[in-house]
A and B are shown apart, each in its own frame.
Chain A
Amino acid sequence: MSDQTEAVVDTVPAAARQVSENVVLQLDKIHTFYGAIEALKGISVDVHQGEIVTLIGANGAGKSTTLKTISGLLHPKSGEIRLLGEVISEMKVHEVTAKGIIQVPEGRRIFPRMTVEENLEMGAFLRSKDVEGVKSSMAQAYDLFPRLKERRMQKGGTLSGGEQQMLAMARGLMAAPKLLMLDEPSMGLAPVIVELIFETIKTLNAQGITILLVEQNAAMALQIADRGYVLETGSVVLTGPGRDLLHNEQVRKTYLGES
Chain B
Amino acid sequence: MALDTLMQQMVNGITLGGMYALIALGYTLVYGIMLMINFAHSEMFMAGAYVGLFTLTGLTNPKLVGSGTVAFLTKNGIGLVLLFTIVFLIAGVAIGLLGVIIERTAYRPLRNAPRLAPLISAIGVSIFLQNAVLLWVDSKALPFPQVFPIVNIKIFGNASISTLQIFILVSVVLILIVLDTFVSKTRIGKAMRATSQDRDAAGLMGVNINTVIALAFFIGPALGAVAGIFNGMYYGTVNWNMGFLPGIKSFTAAVIGGIGNLRGAMLGGFVLGIIESLAAGFLATGYKDVVAFVILILVLIFRPGGLLGESVVEKV
**Footprint of B on A, CB under 8 Å?**
71-73, 92-94, 97-98, 102-103, 105, 107-114, 118, 121-123, 125-126, 128, 157-158, 161, 171, 175, 188
Contact = CB atoms under 8 A, between A and B. Distances in A.
B200 A175 contact: no
Contacts of B316: 107-108, 161, 188
Q: Which 5 A-B pairs have the closest CB atoms?
A: A157-B313, A93-B203, A112-B313, A126-B206, A97-B206
B113 to A, nearest CB: 14
Nearest to A126: B206
Given A94-B208, A161-B316, A175-B206, A125 B200 contact: no
A122 B197 CA distance: 12
Interface in B191-230: 191, 193-194, 197-198, 200-209
B198 A109 contact: yes
The interface residues of chain B, by DSSP majority, are classed as helix
Interface in B77-103: none
Contacts of A126: 205-206
Contacts of A110: 198, 201
A211 to B, nearest CB: 16
A125 B206 contact: yes
A128 B205 contact: no
B315 interface: yes
A101 to B, nearest CB: 10
A102 B201 CA distance: 11
A73 B202 CA distance: 11
B205 A112 contact: no
A94 B208 CA distance: 6
A50 to B, nearest CB: 23
Nearest to A157: B313
11 contacts: A94-B206, A105-B204, A109-B315, A111-B197, A112-B315, A113-B310, A118-B190, A121-B187, A125-B206, A157-B314, A188-B316
A73 B203 contact: yes
A122 B202 contact: yes
Interface in B168-208: 187, 190-191, 193-194, 197-198, 200-208
A228 to B, nearest CB: 24
A111 B32 CA distance: 14
Contacts of A103: 204
Contacts of B313: 112-113, 157-158
Given A107-B316, A112-B313, A157-B313, A123 B205 contact: yes
Given A111-B193, A125-B187, A94 B203 contact: yes
A114 B197 contact: yes
Contacts of B204: 71, 73, 93, 97, 102-103, 105, 109
B205 A122 contact: yes
Nearest to A121: B190
B205 A92 contact: no
Contacts of A118: 190
Contacts of B310: 113
Contacts of B197: 111-114
A92 B204 CA distance: 10
A120 B193 CA distance: 14
Contacts of B187: 121, 125, 128
Contacts of A92: 203, 208
Contacts of A111: 193-194, 197-198, 201-202
Contact of B315 (A73, A107, A158, A175): A107
Given A157-B313, A188-B316, A97 B205 contact: yes
Given A121-B190, A128-B187, A188-B316, A94 B200 contact: no
A128 B191 CA distance: 12
A147 to B, nearest CB: 18
Nearest to A181: B204
A168 B209 CA distance: 20
A38 B209 CA distance: 26
A113 B200 CA distance: 16
A105 B315 contact: no
B93 to A, nearest CB: 25
B209 A125 contact: no
A98 B206 contact: yes
B104 to A, nearest CB: 16
Interface in B275-301: none
Contact of A125 (B198, B205, B314, B315): B205
Contacts of A97: 203-206
A151 B120 CA distance: 45
B194 A114 contact: yes
A38 to B, nearest CB: 19
Nearest to A99: B206
B51 to A, nearest CB: 33
B28 to A, nearest CB: 14
Contacts of A122: 190-191, 194, 202, 205, 207
A23 to B, nearest CB: 23
Nearest to B197: A111
